[in-house]
Amino acid sequence: MNLQKQSQDTIHKCSICGRPYKDKIMEFSGRTYHYSIPECDCEEKLRRREDNKKKGQNIKTRILQIKDCGVGKRFKDRTFSNFDKKINNKAYQVCLNYAKHYFDYEREGKGLFLSGPVGTGKTHLAVAIIDYIARIHKRKFEGKIIFTTSVNLLSSIRLGYKTNSAEKICRECESCQLLVIDDLGSEKITDWVGEIFYRIIDNRYSELKPIIITSNYSLTELKEKIGERLVSRIYDMCEGVKFEGKDWRLIKTSK
């Protein structure tokens, strides 16, 4: 069977709409070739949909990668949209503005120091910033975020001395794109603790790497706990955000 006869006997159709393909003839090097092309764009649309689906999956994966930074299950769903703006609205606006313009702050090595009583939304807004970066800035944000409580960080480093991973933990905290330390000041302060925090924060200060810190203590109160030189670094590299009010957890329980 020659090529012309074969093309006449074999009718190619669109797998979606069923329209027959158009037969084309091409001559090359003295030989005649028959081939078929679709008259519709159904299959091209399908390919584009599949490509977009893959891109969507890649974007979703990237969002999950950024958010997989150490935030516990209780706080994983905390966003700006589910924060009660009636409570500490000013703090909400400052944190939202930081998230929106994150890369401007990052270039200057600027972070946030969120301070105030227990249960006033500090951790919620710190995690909301991470969520915003993951969802809105995922294409530009190429680095890594680390979220840790001060107590967990120190515990990991102590255990790391037994497994030779302490130095690795410190270096990751020094070099990650954004470090979030929750509840600074809740740990028992020793000379060793002060040196660990100073090493990590001073390194980030020197390299213009932003940090977000939450604490139940003001900077003045922290000075008595962690030392003046460390507080000086935090003061210089972070914008202070004050939270006020009563513990919202207790308020919810009493209702």
Give the domain CATH number at 236.
Answer: 3.40.50.300
Is 46 part of any domain? no
User: Residue range 166-181: average pLDDT?
Assistant: 97
Amino acid, single-letter form, for residue 186? S
Q: Mean pLDDT in the chain? A: 87
Q: Is 60 exceeded by the pLDDT of residue 236?
A: yes
- The answer to whether residue 54 sits within a structural domain is no
80: in domain = yes
Same domain, 31 and 120: no
The dihedrals phi and psi of 13, each to the nearest 5 degrees, come to -130, 155
Residue 14 backbone dihedrals phi, psi, to 5 degrees: -65, 130
User: In this structure, are 191 and 243 located in the same domain?
Assistant: yes
Give the angle 140-146-148 at the CA atoms, nearest 5°: 150
Q: How high is the pLDDT of residue 47?
A: 79
Q: What is the pLDDT of residue 167?
A: 96
Question: Do the domain assignments include residue 51?
Answer: no
Is residue 48 assigned to a domain? no
Q: Which domain holds residue 156?
A: 61-254
- 111 with 211, same domain: the answer is yes
pLDDT for the residue 9: 44
Spell out the residues 6+ positions from residue 172 whose beta carbon is closer than 8 angstroms to its own: 144, 146
| Percent with pLDDT over 70 in the chain | 91
**Which is more confident, 34 or 106?**
106
DSSP letter, residue 20:
B
Domain count for the chain? 2
Structure tokens belonging to residue 211: 């940090």
Residue 164 has phi, psi (to 5 degrees) of 60, 30
